[in-house]
Structure 1
Amino acid sequence: MPKPVIVTCAPTGGIHTPTMSPHLPVTPDEIATAAIEAAEAGAAIIHLHARDPETGKPDPSPELFQEFMPKIAGACDAVLNVSTGGGLGMTREERLRAAVATSPEMASLNVGSLNFGIFPMLEKYSRWKNAWEPEFLEMTRDFVFKNTFADLEYIVKELGHGHGTKFEFECYDLGHLYNLAWLIDQGWLEPPFFVQMVFGVLGGVGADLDNLLHMHTIAEKLFGDDHEWSVLAAGRHQMPFATQAAMLGGNVRVGLEDSLFIGRGELAPSNAAQVRKIRGLVESLGYEPATPAQARERLGLKGGGNVAF
């Protein structure tokens, strides 16, 4: 029997801005509601960012995470995964603040530096809800999302060794798989490894099926039975790539962090709507969505009783 598909949902992220969709969760209550609804729809893992509730700008404050993480944990059994990517332009220490404070079962880790260009989205809008939004997008024209080997070692030891947190290793390009292999070779990480392959971000690997197949092949060579793999793709590529990943025996990620849409030109009314759509596609292929308990077992997580929220 095929393994159940682990569905991750990323409700808000640190990329899209409030002008782009009225459905993007911003306040702690909105983020909590979006996460709970996504879990009820079938997401086993919730990948979390926080935002300033007044402006919607990405915010690393642990206090904001503590406003919604206990609510989510009290309402569902989903694995709560705290981003260490934070918001573009944050320092490494800012990006780590929430994860260090909450000691989650999982945290994301971007496994390499890259040019992270979201400035093309400037062309789609002429009016903005907040002054920071166009400035934030324009900044990425001359921006490197920094994740050096020193950064990776620091985060792995701070969270992995210090808190028993496991990682969603976000790999935006082929070289990031080899960066992860290097970390493993140092003896700093224990399997199983959760490899999240990211497609369609300007500066990273393109959303081309050949790239997905090649990265999957290389991951199999590097990590073999020691890894679980998942796919997320930006924008219009979200659902097609998630479906292809499921067909290949992988896991999937959706959410308004990665795409604001649910169909061609149609804004997703909620994160749960995206989860329901990918769940339907997965089930139509003969697979089942994994439960949080199954995800915890397969990813070797420490359990929801060993966190600080």
Structure 2
Amino acid sequence: MSPHRSNSDAGNGGPDEKSLHRNLYDDLSFDELEPSPTFTEEAAKQFFPVHEEDRIDTMDSPVVVECAYPGWQPGGDHYPAVPESKDEQIRELVESVEAGAAAVHVHPRDEDGRPQWNDNDLLVDILDPVFEECGDVVTFSQGWTTSPHADYVSGVRDLLERGDGNKYCQGGVILPPGLFGAGSLHSISTIKEAVRYYEDNGVKPIFQLYDTHVLRDLKHHLIADDELEWDPYVVCLRAGSHHSQTTNNDPWSYFKVLSEIYNVRQSVEDSVVGLYPGGRNWLPMLMMGLVAGANVVRVGIEDAYWMYPHEDELVRKNSEVVETAVEIAEMLGREVITDPDRAREFLGMKYTSPR
């Protein structure tokens, strides 16, 4: 019998629905069908095996927050966050350390609010109260002075004498080979002189990369030539150049952060990779760096002016920027190292001044 009803079947005593389905299913009665079983825990584990996913270790490492303050920007009406006195600088540095910055990078300003490039008297006057109030802090200082070839030794030697060790310059900033910083050439020879002197005197070289070719120079002229002995190497990507077109465009700023972090990791195996985000896009680049596992992030009003890339709200306080960085890192599950001794151990540094 055909399972389909003909027109003559309708209303003429033809087969009913039950008989039709019996023919379709080999005379199996609807009454004999069991309902579908409940979706069990074992079935859920089979079809949704989230418990079998391996950990992803990209963010499974600590991060050190470095505070860059007060920097070089003009203050006053232009940028009220810039301090106008020595006391303001001290107070905001203390609050930044209390907000979670284990390291500080300070360009001191005089009582008229003018930046002083290599005034070690002023730098010590500002850092001492910070040590007194906070107990300890890691210092990443710019020790080089201007000359036809940048002099990396004289200023650092003076700071080492003042601190009877490296208190005021535990990490020394090394700028890229070939760069003219404030009119000074940062040549390979001056940089080699710097790293030899730094490592011999307990100062950790903190390398800044402005572009990919700098990594090649670092690897070829310093690491391959065995100029560096004090590992891990601290290599920080300078993504905060305010004149950089790349760091002010989306999505290129994000691509730049990702590609350069992994370029350093794959090129220099024994390295701690840092990120210095700046400009309009400092906040998204900071987040991208934290997601990509950057181990040092530098934030502060030296590199930032606008709080958000899409709004014209100015950064109000340096310590609030530090607090934001710490909150984002912890929200992402990153461990923020706030203890200076732990930070130095992680970065391969040591403290050589009397306690």
Question: Is the structural similarity TM-score above 0.5?
Answer: yes
In the other structure, the counterpart of 1:148 is 187
Q: Match of 2:268, SS?
A: helix
Deviation at 1:146, TM superposition (A): 2.6
Question: In the alignment, which of 134, 139, 146 is matched to residue 80 of structure 1?
Answer: 139
Matched AA of 2:80: P
SS at match of 1:214: helix
Q: Which residue of 2 aligns with 1:49?
A: 107
**Which residue identity does 1:80 align to in structure 2?**
T
* 1:188-240 per-position Cα deviation (integer Å, ceiling 9, x unaligned): 2221111110114266683222222222222112211x111111122222111
Match of 1:176 among 214, 232, 248: 214
Q: Which amino acid aligns with 2:273?
A: W
Cα shift readout 1:124-148 (whole Å, capped 9, x = no counterpart) = xxxxxxxxxxxxxxxxxxx756311
Match of 1:140 in 2: none
- Secondary structure of the 1:253 match is strand
C-alpha separation in 2, matches of 1:197 and 1:74: 31
Cα distance change on mapping 1:97 and 1:29 into 2, 3 Å? farther
Q: Is the 8 A contact 1:173 1:204 kept in 2?
A: no
SS of the residue corresponding to residue 46 of structure 1 reads strand
SS at match of 1:262: coil
Give the Cα separation in 2 of the matches to 1:279 and 1:180: 30
Tell me how large the CA RMSD over aligned residues is.
2.7
Contact 1:60 1:94 in 2 (8 A): no
Which residue of structure 2 lines up, in the alignment, with residue 275 of structure 1? 322
Q: Assess, with a 3 A threshold, how the Cα gap between structure 1 residues 275 and 200 changes in structure 2: closer, same or farther.
A: closer
SS in 2 for 1:64: helix
Q: 1:235 to 1:279 in 2, by over 3 A?
A: same
Structure 2 residue 349 is the aligned partner of structure 1 residue 301 = yes
Q: Using a 3 Å threshold, how does the CA distance of structure 1 residues 153 and 27 change in structure 2: closer, same or farther?
A: farther
Q: 1:69 to 1:89 in 2, by over 3 A?
A: same
**Counterparts in 2 of 1:250-269, with a 5 A limit?**
250-251=294-295, 252-263=297-308, 264-269=311-316
Q: How does 1:212-251 map to 2 (within 5 A)?
A: 212-224=257-269, 226-251=270-295
Listed one character per residue, the Cα deviations across residues 231-290 of structure 1 (whole Å, up to 9, x for unaligned) are 112222211111111101113110111112323322222111001111111122111211
- The CA distance in 2 between the partners of 1:237 and 1:95, in whole Å, is 34
Equivalence for 1:195: 235
- Mark the runs of 5 or more structure 2 residues left unpaired by the alignment: 1-56, 161-165, 248-252
Amino acid across the alignment from 2:298: R
Change (3 A) 1:55 1:287: closer
Which residue, 76, 90, 93 being the options, matches 1:35?
A: 93
SS in 1 for 2:128: helix
> Which amino acid is the alignment partner of residue 155 of structure 1?
A
Amino acid in the other structure paired with 1:284: M
Q: Which whole-Å CA distance do the structure 2 matches of 1:97 and 1:205 have between them?
A: 33
- Gaps (5+ residues) in structure 1? 117-142
CA distance in 2, matches of 1:90, 1:27: 32
Displacement of 1:10 in angstroms is 0.5
What is the TM-score of this pair, normalised by structure 2?
A: 0.70
Instruction: Give TM-score, length-normalised by structure 1.
Output: 0.80
Question: 1:112, 1:171 within 8 Å by CA — same for their partners in 2?
Answer: no
Give the counterpart letter for 1:73 in structure 2. Answer: F
Residues 52-63 of structure 1: pairs in structure 2 closer than 5 A: 52-63=110-121
Single out whichever of 271-280 and 95-104 deviates more from structure 2.
Answer: 95-104
1:210 is the counterpart of 2:255: yes
CA contact (8 A) 1:5 1:287 kept: yes
- Contact (CA 8 Å) 1:111, 1:147: kept in 2 or not? yes
| Amino acid of the structure 1 residue aligned with 2:114 | G
Distance 1:235 1:253 in 2: 13
Task: Report the Cα distance in structure 1 between the residues aligned to 2:89 and 2:153, rounded to whole angstroms.
Answer: 18
In our comparison, the structure showing a higher alpha carbon Rg is 2
SS of structure 1 residue aligned to 2:246: coil
1:100–1:159 Cα contact (<8 Å) kept:
no
Q: How far 1:89 sits from its partner (Å)?
A: 8.6
Higher helix share: 1
Identity, % of aligned positions = 25
SS in 2 for 1:267: coil
The residue identity in structure 2 corresponding to 1:216 is I
